[in-house]
Amino acid sequence: MRMTEWLVAALGVLNLLLLLWLVLQLRSMISSQMEDKHRAMLLDLHDGLNKLGDRLHTVLAESSERLKQGVASELNQTREAMHGLKLAQTENLTQNREALLEKLNSTFETLNKTVESRLDLISGKVTERLDEGFKKTNETFANVMARLATIDEAQKKIDGLTTNMVSLQELLGDKRSRGAFGEVQLEGLVRNLLPESAFEFQYTFSNKTRVDCVLKLPEPTGLVAVDSKFPLENYEGMFFEGAERVSSTVFKTGVKRHVDDIASKYIIPNETSDGAVMFIPAEAVFAEIHAHHRDVVDYAQAKRVWIVSPTTLMAVLNTARAVLKDTETRKQVHIIQDELGKLGKDFALFDGRMKKLADHIRLAHEDAEKVQITSHKITRRFAQIERVELDATRQPPLLEEGPDEAEIE
């Protein structure tokens, strides 16, 4: 292919040169005498060009034949190489397939062994878990049986408690028993919250009346009477059905009667405080009075009688204890003032001694600084002696007081 291109290019150059030469000859051949020679030359040129074309055709034919033969041989070689490559690939695929099958067989065998071992392990663990589950189930069953036995015992105790509650109900059914119950509850609350000197039970006033408890508070409060009242019959009667039901008016009348009794007996001018306390030892009765019978509460307050329950009595007793504590504190104020005066004198003495100690410390610090300066001078002198810098004609004294920092350095 390259030779053919070269021949075509040479032919083109040759044709160009011939054309140029022809043009030049035509320009030079102006006269008519040269026409014959020019014709002859053109004939010769035409013959030369024909011969050159034949030669080029021959060369091109030979080059094409050689090119065809080379291409055919290269194609044959390529076919043979492709055939060999195909055979080699087929052999490689066959070998790879056999190797892959062997690896897969070995992998499957290993996997089967692993799965079997894992299954055996899981089976053992499942068996252990089942055994543990059976043990825990048996333990739970045993605990349940024990709990059932405990529940049976508790049921027996509940039955006994029911019997005791019936006995308590019978006990509270009697007025004297209810009064004793209220007095015991009142005594327990008062003894737990107040000192012995601040109360007295079954106290007798100047009018020969005896109260359940009296609180001895500081003046101007003085003696505060606390009497226990337990209007249980009328309270329960309001919740009965049928003919035995008691109206709320009867209940309020009974409570007001108790208020009047306390106001007339336990509020004595110039002997007690201007009020008394009615203690109701049942929170339910107290809640009923304050929630649904506000007129009774107002009536009691007008009579200077304060209705309290166990919970509110605790608040009253705590207030009384705070008042007693405040009174005792006021009694000790002059002692506290004397002690504070003594403490002030001791602190003034301490301050003077502290100043003296600070002066001693300051003087000791100054002496220590002077000793340190002298030590530096002695150390420097020894260093000069070691370096043989001692001047016999000039020997400064070793000890000086008050040298400056430049001399020390």
Say whether both 327 and 368 belong to one domain: no
Residue 376 falls inside a structural domain: yes
Residue 58 falls inside a structural domain: yes
Say whether both 293 and 369 belong to one domain: no
Residue 126 falls inside a structural domain: no
The whole-number mean pLDDT for each consecutive block of 10 residues of the chain, a chain of 409 residues, reads 68 75 66 64 78 79 80 83 84 81 76 74 74 73 72 65 45 56 82 88 89 87 85 70 69 87 90 89 85 89 90 88 82 74 79 81 82 81 70 49 43
Say whether both 207 and 101 belong to one domain: no
Two structure tokens written together for 6: 């070269």
How many whole angstroms from its chain centre is CA 102?
58
Residue 353 falls inside a structural domain: no
d(CA 137, CA 139): 5
Predicted local distance difference test score (pLDDT) of residue 163: 47
> Do residues 35 and 29 touch, judged by C-beta distance below 8 A?
yes
Say whether both 190 and 315 belong to one domain: yes
Say whether both 323 and 180 belong to one domain: yes
d(CA 370, CA 366): 6
Residue 383 falls inside a structural domain: yes
Predicted local distance difference test score (pLDDT) of residue 404: 45
Residue 116 falls inside a structural domain: no
End-to-end Cα distance, the chain: 105
Residue 159 falls inside a structural domain: no
Predicted local distance difference test score (pLDDT) of residue 399: 46
The neighbouring-strand residues paired with 15 are: none
User: Which stretches within 230-332 are classed as H helix?
Assistant: 232-237, 248-266, 283-292, 294-302, 310-331
Predicted local distance difference test score (pLDDT) of residue 290: 85
Q: Into how many domains does the chain fold?
A: 3
Domain end point (choices 287, 315, 331): 331
Burial of 246-281, coded b for 16+ CB within 10 Å and e otherwise, reads beeeebbebbbebbeebbebbbbeeebbebbbbbbb
Q: Coil, strand or helix: which one is 219? A: coil
Domain that holds residue 15: 2-23+40-105
Task: Label residue 229 exposed, middle or buried (CB < 10 Å: 0-12, 13-18, 19+).
Answer: buried
Say whether both 240 and 287 belong to one domain: yes
**Distant-in-sequence, close-in-space partners of 28: CB < 8 Å, separation ≥ 6:** 34
Domain end point (choices 331, 350, 382): 331
C-alpha to C-alpha distances, 175 to 165, 181, 228, 239, 265, nearest whole angstrom: 17, 10, 12, 19, 20
What is the domain-level CATH number for residue 316?
3.40.1350
Say whether both 382 and 321 belong to one domain: no
Say whether both 387 and 304 belong to one domain: no
Least Cα distance to 408 among 380, 367, 389 occurs for 380
Sheet holding 199-204, edge to edge: 199-204, 210-216, 223-228, 276-279, 305-308
Say whether both 252 and 377 belong to one domain: no
Say whether both 366 and 243 belong to one domain: no
Q: Coil, strand or helix: which one is 224? A: strand
Predicted local distance difference test score (pLDDT) of residue 298: 92
Say whether both 92 and 240 belong to one domain: no
Say whether both 363 and 293 belong to one domain: no
Predicted local distance difference test score (pLDDT) of residue 276: 92
- Dihedrals φ, ψ of 224, to 5°? -120, 120
Two structure tokens written together for 317: 């007793």
Predicted local distance difference test score (pLDDT) of residue 398: 47
Residue 382 falls inside a structural domain: yes
**Distant-in-sequence, close-in-space partners of 393: CB < 8 Å, separation ≥ 6:** none
Predicted local distance difference test score (pLDDT) of residue 388: 65
Domain end point (choices 87, 105, 123): 105
Question: Sign of dihedral through CA atoms 140, 142, 148, 151?
Answer: negative
